[in-house]
């Protein structure tokens, strides 16, 4: 039985709890929160304290953290907290809904969260602390880096490279063979048909760069 502490007490944490409750051999023992007091209730689970409480579980057998922080605007905070906790010896669990279809040849890192209805095809690689949200599809031999958010309903073609800290917003599409550079953002509903350089924000059909982009 894996004993799991969820990091964060927002909306993404609620989804993580739902997924964990569908997985086998999981016991949720509590939540960490920087906004709720220790002893408070969160979906019938106790708030144990802030993230510092996790130090007592460092390198402890059968104890894991599950990343409950989302990143619909960016991946900066999620990356900072994940890396900080890893430096302290915290082990992260992959949270994968049973309804997903994942090829046996796919390689998935640590602390990855995979929502219901996702399809991950042959020889896909997914880095640490990435989120693949509801109903997204990742086609064969695509590489997804660390701290990436693939939002709900996203389609990523084959032989594609999504570098670290990229955010693919709701319903966006990336055709096969494309490279999305480090830290870039693809806006909701966009269709990417050409390479995107690092730290760019693109939107539209076909997706083009916009200097200032806000996501509501």
Let me know: does 129 contact 79? Beta carbons within 8 Å.
yes
Domain ranges of the chain: 2-93, 94-204
The fold of the 94-204 domain, in CATH, is: UDP N-Acetylglucosamine Acyltransferase; domain 1 (2.160.10)
β-strand partners of 7: 32, 67
Bond preceding residue 27 cis, omega within 30 of 0: no
83-104 pLDDT, tens digit each: 999 999 999 999 999 999 999 9
Six-digit token string for 165: 């800290």
CATH number of 2-93: 3.40.50.20
- CA angle 123/85/149 to nearest 5° reads 40
CA atoms of 171 and 203, how far apart (whole Å) = 12
CA atoms of 151 and 12, how far apart (whole Å) = 12
117-163 pLDDT, tens digit each: 999 999 999 999 999 999 999 999 999 999 999 999 999 999 999 99
The helix, strand and coil proportions of the chain, stated in percent and rounded to the nearest 5, come to 15, 30, 55
**Segment among 45-54, 90-99, 131-140, 204-213 with least mean pLDDT:** 204-213
pTM: 0.94
Q: Do domains 2-93 and 94-204 have the same CATH topology?
A: no
């Amino acid at each position: 039985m894996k004993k799991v502490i969820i990091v964060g007490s927002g909306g993404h944490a609620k989804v993580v709890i739902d997924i964990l409750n569908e997985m086998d051999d999981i016991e949720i023992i509590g939540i960490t929160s920087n906004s709720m007091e220790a002893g408070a209730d969160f979906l019938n689970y106790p708030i144990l304290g802030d993230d510092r409480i996790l130090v007592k579980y460092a390198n402890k057998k059968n104890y894991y953290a599950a990343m409950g922080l989302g990143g619909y605007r960016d991946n900066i905070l999620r990356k900072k907290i994940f890396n900080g906790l890893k430096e302290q010896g915290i082990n992260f669990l992959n949270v994968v809904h049973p309804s997903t279809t994942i090829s046996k040849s796919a390689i998935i890192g640590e602390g990855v969260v995979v929502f219901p209805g996702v399809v991950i095809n042959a020889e896909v690689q997914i880095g640490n602390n990435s989120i693949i949200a509801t109903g997204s599809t990742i086609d064969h031999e695509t590489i997804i880096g660390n701290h990436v958010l693939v939002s709900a309903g996203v389609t990523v073609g084959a032989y594609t490279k999504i570098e670290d800290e990229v955010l693919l917003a709701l319903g966006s599409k990336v055709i096969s063979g494309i490279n999305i550079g480090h830290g870039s953002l693809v806006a909701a509903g966009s269709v990417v048909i050409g390479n995107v350089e690092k730290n760019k924000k693109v939107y539209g059909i076909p997706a083009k760069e916009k200097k200032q982009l806000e996501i509501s």
